[in-house]
Amino acid sequence: MLSKEILKELGNLSFSPYLVTTLYLNVSPLLNLKGEYKIIWKDLKKNALDSLNLEGEVKRSVLSDIEYIETLIDQSSFGSANTIVLMSCSAKNWYYSIPLYPTLKNKLILDKDPYTRPLGHLIAANRHYYLVILSKGDARVFKYFLGEIREEGEIKEEIPKRHKQGGWEASDWQRWHETHVIWHFKEVAEFLDKIIGEEKLILGTTSPKNTSEFLEILPKRLHEKIIGEIPIELDSPIKEILEKTHNLIEEYEEKEIKDLIDQLIVANAKGKEATLGLENVAHAIHQKRVRTILVYDQFEQSGFQCPSCSFMSPYLETCPYCNVKMEKRVDIVDELIEEALINNTELRYIKKKELGEKIQNIGALLRF
């Protein structure tokens, strides 16, 4: 599961004077029925080799990175991953790969460090969720992030069974049994209260009665975190648990994004606190005015960046802020997002092309 810790570890690596080759390749089985990604890889490779301006050992290392990556692409199958991230520094015998569920833009980068910017953006733009599957004497808690799920804990309680014993009436047993169930639910609620901060919560329901009793005990703060329920069994296979959780989250997030897009369009039409399109958003980011940035996840655009103040534009070659010649950039969208994140902007990705088109692929809600 992708995490800030992984990013930090990658960020601490240094193989100087050698370079690290990093590839992001969309290998989605749905979009690559005939292995089309192999053609995209060949294009990326050609562009990189054409502009390769290296010599000696450093060059040899990069060439052998490319050979290594090509072998992987030719031989591997990437399972259900939609994006595969491959990193390599052959001179130092260092190789790393991350299969990811989200679809990232294709990129081949040669740099002093592993190119982790898209991973950082992914972490910034996405939320963690918890799922709790609840039954009378047992509960399982899972954490979901970026299309992956991991079990975080199990909470068990010895619930006394009713059996024949002198002295106790059936109603006493019933009460004793129910008391234990409530204790169990309390323990589960306390566990969740401890681990849930910014995350949202999904309830896995094995019976409506359990869920409604549990909700009575759950602190109000956690009620507000619940985004929905899924019917599931405690011992359902992990594949089913992931699928049901994932579908609920996708639906929830799509609605959130649609609402944000509507909000953006309305505010922009009224001429207040919102702007659409790359050029306008670039100015707003430069002026540090962006509160939330909304961008289609496949949007890329070449352009120019000012070496002095970092302003970016898809077409201006001279910086309007400092009147100096700007430098060419292959994709200014990721650079803009990076700039926005540095200034504490909230980032959200739009996954559907037609939704992105509503706001010219990029839009921003402004602070003032």
The residue ranges that bind Zn ion (CB under 5 A) are 306, 308-309, 311, 319, 321-322
Nearer to Zn ion, 267 or 316 (CB): 316
* Long-range contacts of residues 218-225, Cβ cutoff 8 Å, at least 24 apart: 218/189, 218/192, 219/189, 219/193, 221/193, 222/189, 222/192, 222/193, 222/196, 225/196, 225/199, 225/200, 225/201
Helix extents (H) in the chain: 4-11, 37-50, 56-75, 117-125, 170-195, 208-217, 220-223, 238-269, 278-286, 332-342, 353-357
Nearer to Zn ion, 1 or 309 (CB): 309
Nearer to Zn ion, 302 or 318 (CB): 318
Nearer to Zn ion, 180 or 283 (CB): 283
* CA R_g for the chain: 26
Task: State in angstroms the smallest separation of the CB of 335 from Zn ion.
Answer: 14
Q: Which amino acid is at 273?
A: E
CA distances from 127 to 124, 145, 146, 147, 297 (A): 8, 7, 8, 11, 16
Task: State in angstroms the smallest separation of the CB of 307 from Zn ion.
Answer: 8
Output the CA angle 261-264-267, nearest 5 degrees. Answer: 150
Task: State in angstroms the smallest separation of the CB of 89 from Zn ion.
Answer: 34
Cis ω for the linkage preceding 320 (within 30 of 0): no
Nearest to 232 by CA among 215, 217, 247: 247
Nearer to Zn ion, 263 or 310 (CB): 310
Nearer to Zn ion, 124 or 316 (CB): 316
> Residue 165 has which token pair?
């014993």
Task: State in angstroms the smallest separation of the CB of 276 from Zn ion.
Answer: 23
> Residue 124 has which token pair?
């910034």
Task: State in angstroms the smallest separation of the CB of 319 from Zn ion.
Answer: 3
If 0-12 CB within 10 Å is exposed, 13-18 middle and 19+ buried, where does residue 314 land?
Answer: middle
Task: State in angstroms the smallest separation of the CB of 274 from Zn ion.
Answer: 24
Nearer to Zn ion, 113 or 339 (CB): 339
Task: State in angstroms the smallest separation of the CB of 285 from Zn ion.
Answer: 13
